[in-house]
Amino acid sequence: MISIKAALLLGVLAAGFLVPATSEAAELPMGKDDPELAHVMDYYIHHDIAAQTAALSADERVMATVTTLAAQGQQTQIARAVDEALAGGTEPLIIRETLYQIAPYVGFPKVEDALETANSVFRKHGVKLPLAKQGTVTDENRFEQGLDVQIGLYGDRIRSARANAPKDAAHIQDDLASFCFGDTYTREGLNVQQREIITFAAIATLGGAEPQLKGHILGNKSAGNSRAKVIAALTTISPYIGFPRTLNAMRCINEAYPAEGQS
């Protein structure tokens, strides 16, 4: 029997396949002291979740998992997740870009901590740091480039939000364009579809931000992600965020990205 933490990480990172428990996982306390709960979680992740997330690639599962752990500041589990991801073939750049992507949503402190943890694991795997730069904008054009991405994904809603913003809050709209989109979505290393999945996972993890969550569900749709992929991302993070936030996020999906024939 493996631990609850190992079950979560090994199962979610599996690309639809069962991943055998490592000897390290088997030695973790949960499997020894609370074997019943460890079994429940082991079966839930390895059997249920693995069968329900085929719409995501292995790397996309890693993105969602690293995102939700970083958003919650779970450094021990981030280290284990990154170690398992690298062993499974995920490139370090994918993990780093995932963490850069969520900075506007979970804040710099959590991302800085997560990067410190991830970089420590990278070094243990012999990865040379710093990784290659992926930025494509300058300090001078980040606003314009970000606004182009915003409008490309969200269209008239962005124009309306900017036009209707009070003068004393107009800078918030500028910051959204410059930071959330100019500094992140324009980067290389991940495509727009992947970045929208990551952003969705981050906001769903935070909870209490349903308007923004619906916005990025629509962003996923606009970027070309299927409803099935968005649901698979939510399913991937559900063991970490619990059912209240999972159900709230699913309601947002149903409202913003209804199933075919659903009104």
Mean pLDDT by 10 residues, the chain (263 residues): 45 41 48 88 84 96 97 94 95 98 98 98 98 98 97 92 94 96 98 98 97 97 98 96 98 96 74
pTM of the predicted model as reported, rounded to 2 decimal places: 0.89
What pLDDT does residue 100 have?
A: 98
Distance from C-alpha of 179 to C-alpha of 159, rounded to nearest angstrom: 17
What pLDDT does residue 18 have?
A: 35
pLDDT tens digits, 177-222: 999 999 999 999 999 999 999 999 999 999 999 999 999 999 999 9
What pLDDT does residue 15 have?
A: 40
- Averaged pLDDT score across all residues of the chain: 90
Compute CA distances 179 → 83, 95, 142, 199, 256, whole Å.
29, 20, 8, 14, 25
**Got the DSSP string for 146-167?**
HHHHHHHHHTHHHHHHHHHS-G
What pLDDT does residue 257 have?
A: 97
What pLDDT does residue 5 have?
A: 47
Amino acid identity of residue 100, one-letter, is Y
What pLDDT does residue 12 have?
A: 45
Cα angle at 167 between 162 and 171, to 5 degrees? Answer: 65
pLDDT tens digits, 235-257: 999 999 999 999 999 999 999 99
Are 64 and 198 spatial neighbours (Cβ–Cβ below 8 Å)? yes
